[in-house]
């Protein structure tokens, strides 16, 4: 966990849990990362990672619910958590290609399936090489 991780998100976005809205999320993420002056490489990686994370949680979403996205910003890091209401979430397969993609793109990636929600949280801390944990 980043040292100064706040409990309250700096930016929150709620979208219909529909893949059609993921591009909005991608754009928002890239915009925030750019404002934190991340290197272009990291901004673009994060843009892709958020798309992947959304693709991971969306199939688990209960119908007619929202995709909630929380952004936590510090000077050197951006954490994005995408989550959906999922009464019966499937445990994520950490050996899957999708996880491989996430953990390569982000500095950290973790999934959580508690309280009836399925969430995937990714952090990007530029400066560190993009090697896995």
Partner 1 sequence: MRPDRVRYEETSGDVSASGTDPTRQRSAELFELLGDSARSESDRAAAREDLVHLHLPLVEHCARRFRNRGEPFEDLVQVGTIGLLKSIDRFEAARGVEFSTYATPTIIGEIKRYFRDKGWAIKVPRRLQELRMQITTTTAELTQNLGRSPTPRELAERIGCTVEEIIEGMESSNAYATLSLDATDDGEETGGSMLDALGIEDPDLEHVEVRESIKPMLDQLDPREKRILVLRFFKNMTQTQIAEEIGISQMHVSRLLTRTLDQMRVAMQDAL
Where does this chain bind partner 1 (CB under 8 A)? 26-27, 30-31, 34-35, 37-45, 47-48, 51-52, 55, 95, 97-98, 100-101, 104, 130-132
Nearer to partner 1, 5 or 23 (CB): 23
Q: How far is the CB of 7 from partner 1 (least distance, A)?
A: 28
Separation CA 133–CA 131 (nearest Å): 7
Our CB check for partner 1 shows the closer of 10 and 41 to be: 41
Nearest approach, Cβ of residue 97 and partner 1 (Å): 5
- Please tell me the distance from the alpha carbon of residue 111 to that of residue 102, in angstroms, as a whole number: 11
Alpha-carbon distances of 34 from 22, 46, 95, rounded to whole Å: 18, 11, 31
Q: Which CB sits closer to partner 1, 6 or 19?
A: 19
What's the min distance (Å) between Cβ of 111 and partner 1?
17
**DSSP single-letter state for residue 89:** P
CA-to-CA distance for 65 and 27, rounded, in angstroms? 21
* Strand-pair partners of 108: 123
Handedness of CA 93, 15, 11, 87 (dihedral sign): negative
SS3 call for 113: strand
| Nearest to partner 1 of 65, 104 (CB atom) | 104
Q: To the nearest whole angstrom, how small is the minimum distance from the Cβ of residue 95 to partner 1?
A: 6
């Amino acid at each position: 966990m980043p040292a100064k991780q706040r409990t309250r998100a700096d930016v929150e976005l709620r979208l219909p849990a529909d893949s059609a809205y993921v591009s909005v999320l991608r754009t928002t993420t890239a915009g925030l990362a750019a404002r934190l002056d991340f290197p272009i490489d990291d901004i673009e990686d994060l843009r892709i990672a958020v798309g992947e994370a959304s693709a991971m949680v969306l199939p688990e979403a209960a119908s007619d619910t929202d995709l909630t996205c929380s952004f936590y910003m510090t000077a050197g890091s951006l954490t994005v958590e995408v989550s959906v209401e999922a009464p019966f979430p499937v445990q994520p397969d950490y050996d899957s290609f999708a996880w491989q993609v996430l953990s390569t793109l982000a500095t950290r990636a973790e999934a959580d399936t508690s309280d009836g929600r399925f969430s995937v949280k990714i952090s990007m801390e530029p400066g560190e090489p993009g090697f896995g944990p």
